[in-house]
Structure 1
Amino acid sequence: MDESLDAMTNKFSTVDYIVFILMLVCSSGIGIFYAFKGRKNESSKEFLTANKSLNWFPVSMSLLASFQSSVTILGYPAEMYTKGTQFWVVILSAIFASITAAELFLPVYFKLSFTSVNRYLTMRFNRDNVRLAASMAFLLGTVPYMGVVLYGPSLALSSVTPLSVTSSILIIGIICTFYTSLGGIKAVVWTDTMQVGLMYIGLVAVMLRAFYLVGGVGEAFRIAAERGRIEFTNFELDVSKTNNFWNSVLGMGIMWCGNYCTTQTEVQRYCNTQSQKKAKLALYVNLVGVILMISCACLCGIGVFAYYADCDPLKAGKISKTDQLMPYFVMDTMSEFKGLPGIFVTCVFSASLSTLSSGFNALSAVTWDDFLKETRLGCLSEQNQKNFNKITAIFYGILSILMAFIVGQIGSVLKAAISLAGCLIGPLLGIYLSAILCPFANSKGVISGLTFGVSFGFWVLIGSLVYPANDDFKETLITGCPANFISNSTLIVDDVLENQPFFLKLYQIAFLLVPVTGFIICLFVSFVASLLTGGLNDVKHVDPNTLSPLVWKIWPERLLPPKSDSSKDKEVIEISVRGMNSENLIT
């Protein structure tokens, strides 16, 4: 532990580069294969959604890869290291989100034949304005998130190789854009499956190495417990902290529910499996994978902390950000094993590539189906439509690369990802939950809810950048460092706002609560505004197929629309979706 980060970059060997390049070649190869396979017969819709032909297993792996990105690989271990194990309880959030998606939203969605999940909102409210507002929110939330996902591994690679952050962003962004635009969703799903395996290999390698160096799992937990890192029952009610039970579970619960239940990135995968039963199986297999991956990442954090318990490289000034802890450990302790640093870098890049490719494909699908399909471009031939969607995917790839150069200013990748995406994910979940569970919710009500929820989220996000809060890091030591190890530069801590007006203190709420507040505001405003704008009178016009069966159990009969003939539901829905256009939807 006596080397600088700059010296460590020279340890990235030829074998490591070969391992890394092989991963990029395989990812590109899958895209080329599916581009060649579907060059003649594949329609634009099949390019974007696979038209209900996906196998449940790669879909479950793709669901896992789409949401578990470099944020997990770099951010979760850093959270264990700096704040303790309380954040590990977010696996409860994952369980809740998977059950909600599988049991509440999937039965409604799977009956519908759509490319963009936002088409559901048109069917539910009989107006295009809600769908277009939700689509715009999705685009505005996803592109910055893609920038975060791209920035994370670029920071990691720059820490362990001579490549700069700029070079890394360009490499990963261009490769991902290439295979996504070529092969469509099938290439994305199968590439995700390969990349999930690489993510597990990298995490397990780091975890085993850390535990071996400190003397075993028990010793690592003992050291972590002595230093106050083992904590699962912190039920303190403090909206400014991230390391308590309520903020962790609620914050990630809303984030995951929003992603699994409302975003094109996730919904287009499980709704395009071969049957509803297989879609549900994919969601629950994905849940097992999520729990395992989060646990591996958290165990890595405990092992790395135990190893650096008396000589924190962050406090000693050897690294500048918590996201560099994992790459630093790898080069510090594993570089003697040729190929292992390459495997770890491949792990981080795989995590990022999988999320980016899913995001680019989803962004392209939403842009086409919600904004362009009903314009003159909708008259293009199937081949030209597919080519146009490829160009759209390339456009979003370039946009995400540009965004990656901006998001590094927000802080850790975990904080940046949840803060940026949470501003929109929380309110989006609010309008979808209102739509599927509240029969008297109307278009005016949910538009109002979305507007207030998103506005509040962005206000808090911008304010938190101007008036940043203290990171609630636990104490670390450098008493065990060699005499020549400590750098002149040390971690700078921002001043906490004291005795400030209430509205300034709002900027200090934990980033995990940004999606929660947006969700609550959207849900409340949607409910009240719908009642004030005639929602009770609109109930009779609501298509019962767009509501969850739970609605008939939780609301009085006078608030419910008449049930339709269930034997004709699927046929009627498919016909109505095919016939949608802007002229016949506005009532």
Structure 2
Amino acid sequence: MIPSQEHNFTFYDYGIFILMLLSSAGIGVYYAFEDRKNKSSKEFLTANRSLHWFPVAMSLMASFQSAVTILGYPAEMYFQGTQFWLVTISACLAAVAAAELFLPVYYGLTFTSVNKFLSYRFHSEKVRLASSIAFLFGTVPYMGVVLYGPSLALASVTPLSTQASILVIGIICTFYTSIGGIRAVVWTDTLQVFLMFAGLLCVMFRGFYLVGGVSEAFRIAGERGRLEFTNFSIDPWATNNFWNAVLGMAIMWIGNYCTTQTEVQRYCNVDSKKKAKLSIYVNLIGVVSIISVACLSGIAIFAYYADCDPIKAGIITQKDQLVPYFVMETLSQFPGIPGLFVSGVFSASLSTLSSGFNALSAVTWDDFLKQTRCGKMSEKKIKMINKLTAAFYGILTIFMAFIAGKIGSVLQAAISLAGCLVGPLLGIYIMAIFVPFANVRGVLSGLFCGIGFSTFVLIGSMIYPKIEVDKATSISSCLNVAANATMPINTTVHYETTGILKLFHIAFLLVPVLGFVICLLVSLIVSLLTGGIKKIPNIDTSAMSKLIWHIWPKSMLPAKAPVVQMTSINMDKEQRNGSFKA
């Protein structure tokens, strides 16, 4: 059959959705009121390094599990199969890297911006500023995609247009982030994580119920070629094989968890190193859980629409509308459930956006404005500048969201945009922490080459778009399908490429890998050619991993490890300014 498209929100749905928005805004107002007498900008950006591990764990999870997860992952299961589910392996690798390799280096440092670590390591502001600029230019477009996703979802199931949705969610998020600071961010993230889970669980359970259970859903998915976990083919042009999925997302997630302000700012401001590590591993449990629920939801939805694909039938036009359409088709008879789902989608986006605004404000202040006359202002004025900066990025993100719909699916757009910068940035942090002979010329050359090549591939893929071939779907059981319903929906002209132009058709998951590898290779070569080894005896290894003493020969190590100063690194909990407040 072909279901009706007329499924509007009820009073209960709007009530739940509005309650979620008011709750998020209310948390921001609460912390703004509680903090009204505190004039310190440190409180706004870092909570005086006294955050509790649990809300930080929830915030870490929420910050990186946006609407991309709720809308993109089920659609990926539906159209490409379960191979992408294996990205949970990547999540595990990223958490271990953050907790065991990067956290021990970062934790004692008293920096607001993680990019300042680079100037501490290389004694150069050039590397720090280059990293900061790359973070700013990569994060804002990514957040535009994140904001566009749920706005599209809401527009497909309610009378509210995509443009109106962008404005509502963007303004609410900008409001509570700019007045409440990092404490408001981590606690709204905690609330929003539970809404994300609740919405996805409703989809998963309803889908399995309608098709006759979990085993029946897996049977249908298996018969239609959707169950695929062992595709170990080495094909850089295939989106979903084991190596591309796991390796590509490993670079993405390690880069995000270990080198971006959004994540590092959270776990480095927990009130002890042990609890900071705990927050990372608790976050991992949540990440694996929510990805698994999203993937299971995709399997259930596929089983339900196995013989009546709503895209091929012409009911919906984009893959990212699949999950919202399923919700309205199968759950609209339950008052409030569609509202809960849409609240979950918006919560996923809100959490990522609020973390991003706060991180962008911190980087802009610590790496740029602090070096100007603004740095000499009173704490009260500095705090106001940080709030206005967060608000500015909120407005900029709203603008970016209006053009985000032009660049393809939510999942592919988010990974491609972020990957252009995350891969090369991870490369220079790896060089800084694990390579003693790395120098300024080397890492800057690597960063520029990595970003340049990744951007070249991304732009080329837009000019010469790849024809994405999905697994087969059917409309054999649909009724009243128009004669032209099976005609291609996307009228974009595609170009077949050969030779070097084929590079533009490489799997989007490998974009961050390309940037990372090129950055690493160029950094290593240039550092060696510009006398990096000769300067090893003068290197301060207090900003490097202890592993360097085990992985490099003595000829590439300083003669003696420096004495670590307690004023800048490995500070005791009591010396980290503040007690538990969050």
Q: Which amino acid aligns with 1:358?
A: S
Residue in structure 2 matching 1:569, options 565, 569, 576 = 565
Confirm whether residue 359 of structure 1 aligns to residue 345 of structure 2: no
1:180-579 aligned within 5 A: 180-484=177-481, 488=485, 490-492=488-490, 497-498=495-496, 500-564=497-561, 566=563, 568-573=564-569
How many angstroms does 1:486 deviate by? 7.0
> What are the superposed Cα offsets for residues 368-410 of structure 1, whole Å, 9 maximum, x if unpaired?
0001111100011111101000000011001101101112111
How many angstroms does 1:243 deviate by? 1.1
How many angstroms does 1:427 deviate by? 0.1
How many angstroms does 1:538 deviate by? 2.0
> What are the superposed Cα offsets for residues 395-447 of structure 1, whole Å, 9 maximum, x if unpaired?
10011011011121111110000000100000000000011000000011000
- Going from structure 1 to structure 2, the CA distance change for 1:425 and 1:20 (only over 3 Å counts) comes to same
Matched position secondary structure for 1:373: helix
Matched position secondary structure for 1:409: coil
How many angstroms does 1:483 deviate by? 2.6
- Give the Cα separation in 2 of the matches to 1:400 and 1:329: 29
Residues 404-413 or 82-91, more deviating? 404-413
Confirm whether residue 13 of structure 1 aligns to residue 10 of structure 2: yes
Confirm whether residue 81 of structure 1 aligns to residue 78 of structure 2: yes
1:100-179 aligned within 5 A: 100-179=97-176
How many angstroms does 1:471 deviate by? 1.3
- Going from structure 1 to structure 2, the CA distance change for 1:25 and 1:150 (only over 3 Å counts) comes to same
- Give the Cα separation in 2 of the matches to 1:464 and 1:432: 28
CA contact (8 A) 1:469 1:508 kept: yes
- Give the Cα separation in 1 of the matches to 2:181 and 2:567: 28
> What are the superposed Cα offsets for residues 472-517 of structure 1, whole Å, 9 maximum, x if unpaired?
310100011013477646434767644x342211110011000000
Q: Which amino acid aligns with 2:124?
A: R
- Going from structure 1 to structure 2, the CA distance change for 1:50 and 1:563 (only over 3 Å counts) comes to farther
- Give the Cα separation in 2 of the matches to 1:486 and 1:181: 52
Confirm whether residue 2 of structure 1 aligns to residue 6 of structure 2: no
CA contact (8 A) 1:224 1:306 kept: yes
Aligned counterpart, 2:31: 34
How many angstroms does 1:540 deviate by? 2.2
Residues 176-185 or 43-52, more deviating? 43-52
CA contact (8 A) 1:123 1:543 kept: no
Aligned counterpart, 1:578: none
CA contact (8 A) 2:110 2:568 kept: no
- Give the Cα separation in 1 of the matches to 2:546 and 2:491: 52
> What are the superposed Cα offsets for residues 214-241 of structure 1, whole Å, 9 maximum, x if unpaired?
0000000000000000000001111111
TM-score, scaled relative to structure 2: 0.96
Q: Which amino acid aligns with 1:368?
A: W
CA contact (8 A) 1:541 1:561 kept: yes
Gaps of 5+ in 2: 572-582
- Give the Cα separation in 2 of the matches to 1:108 and 1:364: 23
Q: Which amino acid aligns with 1:569?
A: Q
Q: Which amino acid aligns with 2:452?
A: S
How many angstroms does 1:347 deviate by? 0.4
CA contact (8 A) 1:3 1:485 kept: no
- Give the Cα separation in 2 of the matches to 1:490 and 1:337: 34
Gaps of 5+ in 1: 576-587
1:31-70 aligned within 5 A: 31-70=28-67
How many angstroms does 1:155 deviate by? 0.3
CA contact (8 A) 2:107 2:570 kept: no
Matched position secondary structure for 2:422: helix
TM-score, scaled relative to structure 1: 0.95
- Give the Cα separation in 1 of the matches to 2:569 and 2:62: 31
Identity %: 65
CA contact (8 A) 1:544 1:562 kept: no
- Give the Cα separation in 1 of the matches to 2:269 and 2:97: 18
